[in-house]
Amino acid sequence: MEAAGTWALLLLLLLLVVTLVLPETWARGHLPPGPTPLPLLGNLLQLRPGALYLGLLRLSKKYGPVFTVYLGPWRRVVVLVGHEAVQEALGGQAEEFSGRGTVATLDGTFDSHGVFFSNGERWRQLRKFTTLALRDLGMGKREGEELIQAEARCLVEALQGTKGRPFDPSLLLAQATCNIICSLVFDLRLPYDNEEFQAVVRAAGGIAVGVSSPWGQTYEMFSRFLQRLPGPHMQLLGHLGTVAAFAVQQVRQHEGSLGASGPARDLVDAFLLKMAKARKEKQDPNTEFTAKNLLMTVVYLLFAGTVTVSTTIRYTLLLLLKYPQVQERVQEELIRELGAGQRPSLGDRARLPYTDAVLHEAQRLLALVPMGIPRALTKTTRFRGYTLPQQQYDLLLSAHSTFPIQSPRSQYPG
């Protein structure tokens, strides 16, 4: 009898827990269809961590381009698959789908600050400032192109320094990319053999690997359980700390050398001048030009910009190695149109149609961010006959690539 009473008590507690943690599991309302979630597990059986993208593609074949899944017991996610569905949402109803969703592995660090992880008015102010500041510094202009050409020369010299020996170019490609970002953000270029620079670049790669790893995807599903336990997410926090420490060091140096009237040498200067102006005028108590937003914006630009561009370059080189006939045609076109050793520029694009097509095809094939960027609704929205409520746990993941080709995700060597 005592044992039976104990089991009855345990069963009662289990039912209570399920009732508390899954209040919405059986009340989908007018949400899109999807697999039935299990208590405490959500759709873990259908979406295996490490193969989450492929799992979403499989579910789309059964439920269509718009469906609902549960990432763990709490995160209810509406998934859009395919160009048409994503274009309809982000093009036709851009305002409704403009909110930022949850990235559990990073949200604890960024805390809704910075140009990428913020929402609402904060995001609008920071996005406008960052776009204009980078444009003023030469991004998209001739000055920015010359900056990239100069760094490309340094990269070629470093590659020639290997004297034909086999080597992994991943770190060098990432350093070249990071130097472009550092030039715009800090007015700084670092040599490739600088150990601190190498550590920052490896940390940036470690962040991307950690977020996309099987553990990272498991953490996205069960972060409430795992955030206080030891695990690989602690290593991810270490990588974030390395990048943040470098950013803090650079910001402090700028604070000590910034002229009161400018002009801005880089993005950090432009942000600091905005902060000084806001303090002096005291007209906007809700200004988003704060030290935390500066730091989080810089950290994001460092790790995201470095990883995305360098991975795209690395993937394109892998494709050219796999298809040597394509590589030969690219090389022939470059030599024919520009001459041996001539630096290409955007002005040459019309003369290089085959090379231009190859670069676009590589980006089409590369599933760099396979599931897109998590988004949240800014208000309850009707979409394709469904009602998507504006609630904190409602996200939108856009698995918009129809090619399940994964990018190389190994750590930078060393």
- CATH number for position 184: 1.10.630.10
On whether both 128 and 246 belong to a single domain, the answer is yes
pLDDT for 146 beyond 70: yes
| Number of other CB atoms surrounding residue 149 within 10 Å | 12
On whether both 175 and 252 belong to a single domain, the answer is yes
Q: Give me the pLDDT at residue 9, please.
A: 52
Q: Nearest 5 degrees, angle CA 241-CA 246-CA 252?
A: 120
In a domain, 7, yes or no: no
198 three-class SS: helix
On whether both 143 and 204 belong to a single domain, the answer is yes
Amino acid at 187: D
Report how far residue 366's alpha carbon sits from residue 353's, in angstroms, rounded to the nearest whole number: 20
In a domain, 351, yes or no: no
DSSP code for 397: E
Closest CA to 301 of 278, 275, 270: 270
Mean pLDDT value across the chain? 83
Task: Answer yes or no: are the C-beta atoms of 91 and 365 closer than 8 Å.
Answer: no
Q: Give me the pLDDT at residue 16, please.
A: 47
357 forms bridges with which residues in the sheet? Answer: none
pLDDT one-digit tens code per residue, 243-297: 999 999 999 999 888 876 668 899 999 999 998 887 777 666 678 999 999 999 9
On whether both 142 and 244 belong to a single domain, the answer is yes
- Residue keyed to tokens 């949240």: 376
Of the residues 252, 287, 322, which one is the last residue of a structural domain?
A: 322
On whether both 164 and 98 belong to a single domain, the answer is no
On whether both 288 and 314 belong to a single domain, the answer is yes
In a domain, 87, yes or no: yes
Least confident of 2-6, 63-67, 84-88: 2-6
Domain total for the chain? 2
68 three-class SS: strand
Task: Answer yes or no: are the C-beta atoms of 396 and 41 closer than 8 Å.
Answer: no
Q: Domain span at residue 207?
A: 120-322
In a domain, 111, yes or no: no
On whether both 169 and 287 belong to a single domain, the answer is yes
Q: Give me the pLDDT at residue 108, please.
A: 86
On whether both 282 and 209 belong to a single domain, the answer is yes
On whether both 142 and 286 belong to a single domain, the answer is yes
Q: Give me the pLDDT at residue 22, please.
A: 46
On whether both 172 and 299 belong to a single domain, the answer is yes
pLDDT one-digit tens code per residue, 12-45: 445 444 444 444 444 445 889 999 998 888 888 8
Q: For 179-203, what is the mean pLDDT?
A: 96
Q: Give me the pLDDT at residue 171, please.
A: 95
